Amino acid sequence: MGEFELIRHFFAAAPCAQGGNGVALGIGDDCALLELPAGEQLAVSTDTLVAGVHFPAVCDPSLLGQRSLAVAASDLAAMGATAIGFTLALTLPEVSADWLQAYTQGLQRMAHRCRMSLIGGDTTRGPLSITVTVFGRVPAGQALRRDGARPGDLLCVGGNLGNAAGALPLVLGERQAPAEQAQALLAQYWSPMPQLTLGELLRGHATAALDVSDGLLADCGHIARASGVALEVNQHQVPVSTELEAFLGRDAAVHAALTGGDDYVLAFTIPAAQHQALQLPGFIHVHVIGRVLDGQGVTLRDRQGRDITPTQRGYQHFRETP
């Protein structure tokens, strides 16, 4: 099967809206065409996943399909944007109809959950790698940026942290866990649900936001630096799942929650009054885990208020090289 046939066959079945949800022209021409309602801005983000670096080279392509879109769509949630669509640049070492079918199914499942359409892309031969570029829309001036945190704001997260990091030894086949623990942790790794609803509800309330992808402390550092403030995290308030605690024990679970990446839960700062006013649906659990202060940097405190900040902050892809 030639390249063009390949693309047509597998991605023709994808949910490529024509004329709906801001997509004026989808797959098949030199460019896709998007439309924006008056007074809205387009949010854009790009994420690459490389086999052997961001996921195991041998894995379930259906799960990979879910995850590759979810991690990119999470950046839209972090900006408070409403998801529209995405382009997919897929580099494959060889063409396998089975692989493509399973991958596309997973991709479609996540696209459906996020209400996004595949609007274009590129398919090339090479080492397995996936770059997804996502598009959303947000009323002008209401995007949740990283630079708006102010002293006095509360620091919050949108759910349990550390599950994806806890899942890693399971993903890599290095450890086993009881079925219910494995299921909860692996779900967070393979199909993190982008918090798009939470992001939209935070518009006009939160002062800064991002999605936790590098690890909570590292990501709090991004907000602190961009906003020119200090962030204080209370370790005992950082939420971890019962499954993670059962699997790793309390200390290691908390460590995973503080430094592990890939959870794609929102972290945000918000004035206390706005926090009170938030009306969230039952499936969203927001936890206050600290506060914003004058100063700079991130401080981790224990239940007694002692500074227990670790020195290592999150995963950096190129850490080892000079």
Pick the closer one to a copy of itself by CB: 4 or 283. Answer: 4
Note the residue count of the chain.
Answer: 322
Reading the block at residue 165, the tokens are 């990091």
Coil/strand/helix, residue 298:
strand
Pick the closer one to a copy of itself by CB: 92 or 292. Answer: 92
Pick the closer one to a copy of itself by CB: 165 or 244. Answer: 165
CA–CA separation, 255 vs 304, rounded Å? Answer: 18
Q: Which of 281, 283, 300 lies closest to 291 in space, CA to CA?
A: 300
Pick the closer one to a copy of itself by CB: 139 or 271. Answer: 139
Residue bearing tokens 């379930």:
60
Q: How far is CA 270 from the centre of its chain?
A: 20
Pick the closer one to a copy of itself by CB: 143 or 270. Answer: 143
Pick the closer one to a copy of itself by CB: 54 or 275. Answer: 54
Coil/strand/helix, residue 101:
helix
Report, in Å, the least distance between residue 51 CB and a copy of itself: 8
Report, in Å, the least distance between residue 303 CB and a copy of itself: 31
CB 111 within 8 A of CB 129: no
Report, in Å, the least distance between residue 1 CB and a copy of itself: 7
Q: Which residues of 246-273 are buried (b: 16+ CB within 10 A; e: fewer)?
A: ebbeeebbbbbbbbbbbbbbbbbbbbee
Q: Which are the contacts of 19, defined by CB distance < 8 A and separation ≥ 6?
A: none
Report, in Å, the least distance between residue 142 CB and a copy of itself: 10
Report, in Å, the least distance between residue 35 CB and a copy of itself: 5
CA–CA separation, 85 vs 138, rounded Å? Answer: 14
Report, in Å, the least distance between residue 209 CB and a copy of itself: 8
Report, in Å, the least distance between residue 98 CB and a copy of itself: 13
Amino acid at 52: G
Pick the closer one to a copy of itself by CB: 210 or 265. Answer: 210
Give the angle 223-161-134 at the CA atoms, nearest 5°: 60
Pick the closer one to a copy of itself by CB: 209 or 240. Answer: 209
Q: Which of 66, 90, 69, 225 lies closest to 145 in space, CA to CA?
A: 225
Report, in Å, the least distance between residue 234 CB and a copy of itself: 24
